[in-house]
Amino acid sequence: MRTSCAMKLCRFTNKSDEVRVGLIADDSSMFDLTPAGITQMLQLLENENFVAQLTQLAKKKLPRIALSEIKLLTPVERQEIWAAGVTYLRSKTARMEESDFSASAYDKVYAAERPEIFFKSLPEKVVGTNEAVGIRRDAKWNVPEPELSLVINSKGKIVGHTVGNDMSSRDIEGENLLYLPQAKIYERSCALGPWIHLGANEAEARGWKIKIKIQRGGQNVFNGETSVSQIKRSFEQLAEFLFRSQKFPHGAILLTGTGIVPPETFTLHEKDEIGIEISGIGLLKNFVAVV
Ligand code: DO4
Ligand code: MG
């Protein structure tokens, strides 16, 4: 087994439907880490020296499996999922336009020392790649929010990154700021995947590009792109605020906010296909269902 700086850790089910942990080998295959005694991702994420641990594992002969033979699961085990908001200028201006009522709140939080951080989801509610994300049946204006997501261990250390989608109902959010939990937390409103990229530092991650492509009936209906470098706050600061006066015994995932907002005329439709790609990590693919 080969290890490199870009180590990508995944959860998957094999042909016998057993949940396992794997290390991505290349574009089409992965190593099953089960024979090396790794049955949970948290065993690695909680170890400060996971690079050394993976290097040790590299000496073992591990089964190589084609990605076409497995189903990727969400790269989440027992972590709570939280999200930061209004961390990009684009997000601040879009939200100020959507609601005059709440405009000053968005303006103030963008500049304030304390970031906006809200609870987003539980591991069992998150959807993985190739699964359906939801749009609420009582909302008229629904969008995906493509977000770099920090994988943070129980000690508050950022140990990896994954791709996130903070699905949102903009008409509900825009009507009244107090409706934010309903605009953000509902069935299938959070997607994460396809795996965790381990070990990149903030400077490296800030070099990544985030792209989104939305297709409807085979036609492109929206393309967007931003750079992680446009996030106003440091990742350390976001993680530090999340862990203030709060313990996460199994770690946490923190979505870092969106820098891509489709035009006001755009809303998602049932069956739309959403592809979110972060250059250093990979591609998260979902389709839309009404929930
Ligand atoms: O307060 C609104 C939510 C902000 C958000 O989710 C984002 O900026 O990504
Ligand atoms: Mg968001």
Would you give the DSSP letter of residue 127? B
Could you say which DSSP state residue 135 is in? E
In the structure encoding, which two tokens stand for residue 136, read together?
Answer: 């609420």
Tell me, in angstroms, the distance from the centre of ligand 2 to residue 117's CA: 10
Ligand in closest contact with the CA of 85: 1
Residue 2 has pLDDT above 80, yes or no: no
CA dihedral 52, 58, 63, 69 (to 10 degrees): 60
167, 146 contact by CB (below 8 A): no
Structure pTM? 0.96
Of the ligands numbered here, which is closest to the C-alpha atom of 118? 1
Tokens, residue 6: 């870009």
Ligand 1 contact, 166 CB (< 6 A)? yes
Q: Whose CA is nearest to atom 1 of ligand 1?
A: 85
Is the peptide bond between 263 and the residue preceding it cis, with omega within 30 degrees of 0?
A: no
User: For atom 3 of ligand 1, which residue has the closest CA?
Assistant: 85
- pLDDT band at 4; cut points 50, 70, 90: very low
CA distance 274 to 291: 17
Q: Which DSSP category does 125 fall into?
A: G
Give pLDDT tens digits for 40-78.
999 999 998 888 888 788 778 899 999 999 999 999 999
What 3-state class would DSSP assign to 73? coil
Statement: residue 128 has pLDDT above 60: yes
What is the H or E stretch that residue 57 is in? Answer: helix 50-58
Q: Is the CB of 259 within 6 Å of ligand 1?
A: no
Is a pLDDT exceeding 80 seen at residue 5?
Answer: no
Tokens of 133: 């994300």
- Taking residues 186-192, what's their average pLDDT? 98
pLDDT higher than 80, residue 179: yes
